[in-house]
Structure 1
Amino acid sequence: MKSYVIHGPKDLRIDEKEERSLASDEVRLGLAYGGICGSDMHYYQDGKVGHSIVKDPMVLGHELAAVVLEVGQGVSGVSVGDRVAINPALPCGTCAMCRQGEVNVCFNMQYLGSAAKRPHSQGAFEERPVVKAHQCVILPVDADLKLAALAEPYAISLHAANLGDVAGKRVLVTGGGTIGTLAAVAALDQGASDVYVSDVHAAALERVKKLADVRTLDARNVEERVVSGELEFFDVVLEASGATQAFNTAVKVLIPKGRLIQIGFLAPEALDMNSILTKELTIRGAYRFLNEFEKAVESVLSKPELVEAVSATYDFGVTDEAFESSLDKQKHLKVMIRQEAYAS
C-alpha cells in the first residue's frame, strides 16, 4: 500500500507499507479525497508545526472523505460501501480534560498525521487507511466527497467562531486562507452582524468574496483605518493567519473588552501585550474542535458553493508538485489529492 510519508523538511516520499489486519473496532477505507492542511504544509516545508517536530517518518493527512472497503468483526453502524467523512481526533476518554468534556485538549490525544507526541500519530494519506469505526460520519449516498473532505477545517473554524461568541457581533477575520475563509463562513452561520476578512494578498480576498458574503480589507492599513475613525472597532477578531503583525493589529482594532481568538500558530516574535492590558481584552486559543465535527459535515454538505474552495486536485502519488502548489497562496486556497477509483 502506498503512503505519503514525511521524513524531514522537503523530504516527502511515497513509501510502500504493508497492510495489516483490522482490529474488531476498525474499518479499512478507500481514500477518495484528502485535503492538504496548513499543518501538512508546515511538516513538508519545515519538518515541524509549532512544537510538533517530525522525528520519525510519519504518514501525513487528516482531512479526508472515503469509501468503506472492509469492517472489523465487532463493527456495527458502518458498512462496506458507505461514503464517510473522517473525524481525525482520538481522545483518550480518561484523562482529566476528557473527564471534564474538554476532549480537544486531551492530554493523550491521538490525531491523524500529528508529530505532537512520540511515537507520532500516523496520518491517512494512504491508498487504504485504517481508522476506528466511530471516527466515521456516514454521508448521504449522493454526497459530494470533495465537499465532505472540507469538514475538518470547517469544524476548526466553527469551533473558533463558537469560542468567539460571535452572534450579533462585529467580526474581523485576519487571513484569507482556508481556515480564515471557512471561519468567515462559520461566523456568518453563527449570526455575526458584520464579517470582514483581511489579507495582504488581493487574490485571497477575491476568493473569499466568492464564497462568503463578507467585506474585505487590505491587512496593511486596517489599523490606520480603525484608529482614524474610518472603520469602527471590532468586537471579535478570529486570527487565522499566524502572522505576528496580524496579532498586533488585532489587539489595536478590538474594542475594549473585546475578544481575540487565536487560530493560527504564531512564530516566537514580539507581540504587543500592552494593549491586552489597557483594553482588558480576552485572548483565547482555538485548538482543533470540540463537538463540532458532525455539525461541520452537515454544514459543508449544505453549501455546495464551498466546493469552489478546492482550487486544485492532484492524483494520488503526486508529492512535491501538490505540496508546492499548496504553498502558493496567490494561486491556491485548498489543494487536495484524489484517488479516482473512490472519488466518483
Structure 2
Amino acid sequence: MRGCVIHGAGDLRVEELPVPRPGPDEALVAVRYGGVCGSDLHYWRHGGVGDFRLREPMLLGHEVVGTVVAYSPGTPGPGVGTPVAVHPATPCGVCPECVDGRRNVCRDTRYLGSAARFPHVQGGFASRIAVPASQLRALPPGLAPRRAALAEPLAVALHAVGRAGDLTGRHVLVTGAGPIGCLVVAAARAAGAARVTVSDLLPAALEYARAAGADVLVRADDPDDAGWPAEVDAAIEASGVAAGLDACLRLVRRGGVVVQLGMLPPGRSPFAGNLVVSREIELRGAFRFDGEFDAALDLLAAEPAFDALVGAVVPVRDAESAFELAADRSRSCKVLLDFGADPAL
C-alpha cells in the first residue's frame, strides 16, 4: 500500500508499505480521504510542531475517513463496509486530566501522526490503517466521506468555541482565516453568535471565511480598514501569530474572553499582558477536542455549505503537490488526499 511518510524537514515521501494487521481490539480501515492539517505542514516544512520534533520517520495524518475492512477476532464495532471517521486520540483514561473529564489534555494520550512521544504515533495517511475500534465513528446518514473529512478540524473549532462560553447574540472576532479559522466561524454561527468578524492577510482566505458565515472581513495588515470593530464580546485567535493575539486582546471588551487556539511559534511570544490585568480579560487556551468529534459529524451531516471549504482533492501519489497547495492559502482552504483509487491494492 502507499503511505505518506515524513523523514525530516522538506523530506516527504510516498512509500510502499506493508498492509497492517489489526491487533487486539483494533479495526482495519481502508482510508478514502485524509485532510492536510497545519501540523502536517509544520512537520513537512520544519521537521516538527512547536516543541514536538521528528526523531524517526513518521506516517503523517490525523484527519481521516474511510471504510471498515476487518476487525481482530471478537472486536465489536461498526459493520464491515461501514463508512467511518476516525477519532485520532486515544487518551490514557487514568491520569488526573482524564479523571477530571478533560481527556483532550491527557498527559499520556496517543494521537495519530504525532511526534509528541517516542516512538512516534504513526498517522493515518496510508491506504490501510489499523486503529483501536473504539476510535471509529459511523458516518451519520447522508454524510458523504468527502465532507466528513472535515470532522477533526471542525471538532477543534467546536472545542474552541465552547471554551469562549455562551456566544448567543454575541459579536465574535476570529483572527486567521485558514481552514481552522473558517471552521471556527461556522462553529460560532452554530453556537448562536449574532455577528462574526474575521481578519486575515489574504483576500482569498477571507473569501473562504465569508463562505463559512463571516459577516465582516478585515485585512489584518490594514489598521485603517473600516471593518475593524470598536470592540467585541469574545475573540478566538486562530492564526498562530503574536499579532493575532494582540488584536484579540485589544479589541475584546472589558471582562471579555479571548481563546488562544492557534499554536504560536516555540519559545517566548510577546503579548499585551497589562490589558489582561486592567480589563480583567479572561485568556483561555483551547487544545484539540474530545466529545466534540461526534457533534462535528452531526453538524456536517446537517449543513452542505461545508463543502465550499474543501478547496482541492489530490491523489495520494501527488502528495507533495497537495502539501504545496495546502501551504498556499491564496489558492486553497482545506486540501484532501484521495486514497480511494490506490493502484497498489
- Which interval holds the TM-score relative to the shorter structure? over 0.9
Could you say which residue in structure 2 is the equivalent of 1:112?
A: 112
Could you say which residue in structure 2 is the equivalent of 1:243?
A: 241
Equivalent residue runs for 1:44-59 within 5 Å: 44-59=44-59
Cα distance, 1:270 vs structure 2: 2.3
Could you say which residue in structure 2 is the equivalent of 1:193?
A: 194
Could you say which residue in structure 2 is the equivalent of 1:74?
A: 74
Cα distance, 1:282 vs structure 2: 0.7
Contact 1:83-1:140 within 8 A present in 2 as well: no
Residue 173 and residue 213 in structure 1: after superposition, are their counterparts in 2 closer, same or farther (change >3 A)? Answer: closer
Counterpart residue identity of residue 203, structure 1: A
In structure 1, what is the Cα distance between the partners aligned to 2:191 and 2:14? 41
Residue 341 and residue 79 in structure 1: after superposition, are their counterparts in 2 closer, same or farther (change >3 A)? Answer: farther
In structure 1, what is the Cα distance between the partners aligned to 2:325 and 2:285? 29
Contact 2:5-2:14 within 8 A present in 1 as well: yes
Contact 1:29-1:130 within 8 A present in 2 as well: yes
Q: Which runs of 4+ in 1 moved over 3 A?
A: 221-226
TM-score scaled to structure 1, two decimals? 0.94
Could you say which residue in structure 2 is the equivalent of 1:261?
A: 259
In structure 2, what is the Cα distance between the partners aligned to 1:107 and 1:223? 44
In structure 2, what is the Cα distance between the partners aligned to 1:140 and 1:169? 30
Query: Does residue 336 in structure 1 map to residue 312 in structure 2?
Result: no
Could you say which residue in structure 1 is the equivalent of 2:304?
A: 304
Cα distance, 1:213 vs structure 2: 4.6
Counterpart residue identity of residue 117, structure 1: R
Cα distance, 1:196 vs structure 2: 1.0
Equivalent residue runs for 1:198-277 within 5 Å: 198-221=199-222, 231-267=229-265, 268-277=268-277
In structure 2, what is the Cα distance between the partners aligned to 1:336 and 1:46? 21
The SS at the match of 2:169 is coil
Contact 2:97-2:106 within 8 A present in 1 as well: yes
- Where does structure 1 lack aligned partners over 5 or more consecutive residues? none
Question: Alpha carbon RMSD of aligned pairs, Å?
Answer: 1.7
Counterpart residue identity of residue 316, structure 2: F
In structure 1, what is the Cα distance between the partners aligned to 2:71 and 2:141? 18
Could you say which residue in structure 2 is the equivalent of 1:25?
A: 25
Query: Does residue 131 in structure 1 map to residue 131 in structure 2?
Result: yes
Contact 2:316-2:337 within 8 A present in 1 as well: yes
Cα distance, 1:130 vs structure 2: 1.0
Decide which moves more: 71-80 or 123-132. Answer: 71-80
Q: Deviations over 1:91-119 (max 9, x none)?
A: 01111111111100001010000111111
Cα distance, 1:275 vs structure 2: 1.5
Residue 254 and residue 77 in structure 1: after superposition, are their counterparts in 2 closer, same or farther (change >3 A)? Answer: same
Equivalent residue runs for 1:171-182 within 5 Å: 171-182=172-183
The SS at the match of 1:317 is helix
Residue 142 and residue 258 in structure 1: after superposition, are their counterparts in 2 closer, same or farther (change >3 A)? Answer: closer
Cα distance, 1:2 vs structure 2: 2.0
Counterpart residue identity of residue 90, structure 2: L
Decide which moves more: 212-221 or 286-295. Answer: 212-221
Cα distance, 1:277 vs structure 2: 1.7
Counterpart residue identity of residue 116, structure 2: A
In structure 1, what is the Cα distance between the partners aligned to 2:108 and 2:154? 24
Q: Deviations over 1:215-266 (max 9, x none)?
A: 211223458869xxx7331111110000111111111111111111011011
Residue 77 and residue 340 in structure 1: after superposition, are their counterparts in 2 closer, same or farther (change >3 A)? Answer: closer
Could you say which residue in structure 1 is the equivalent of 2:103?
A: 103
Residue 87 and residue 223 in structure 1: after superposition, are their counterparts in 2 closer, same or farther (change >3 A)? Answer: farther
In structure 1, what is the Cα distance between the partners aligned to 2:330 and 2:21? 43
Residue 216 and residue 25 in structure 1: after superposition, are their counterparts in 2 closer, same or farther (change >3 A)? Answer: same
Contact 1:184-1:214 within 8 A present in 2 as well: no
In structure 2, what is the Cα distance between the partners aligned to 1:276 and 1:293? 31
Could you say which residue in structure 2 is the equivalent of 1:155?
A: 155
Decide which moves more: 75-84 or 214-223. Answer: 214-223
In structure 1, what is the Cα distance between the partners aligned to 2:201 and 2:333? 14
In structure 1, what is the Cα distance between the partners aligned to 2:220 and 2:140? 40
Could you say which residue in structure 1 is the equivalent of 2:16?
A: 16
Counterpart residue identity of residue 235, structure 2: V
In structure 2, what is the Cα distance between the partners aligned to 1:93 and 1:232? 44
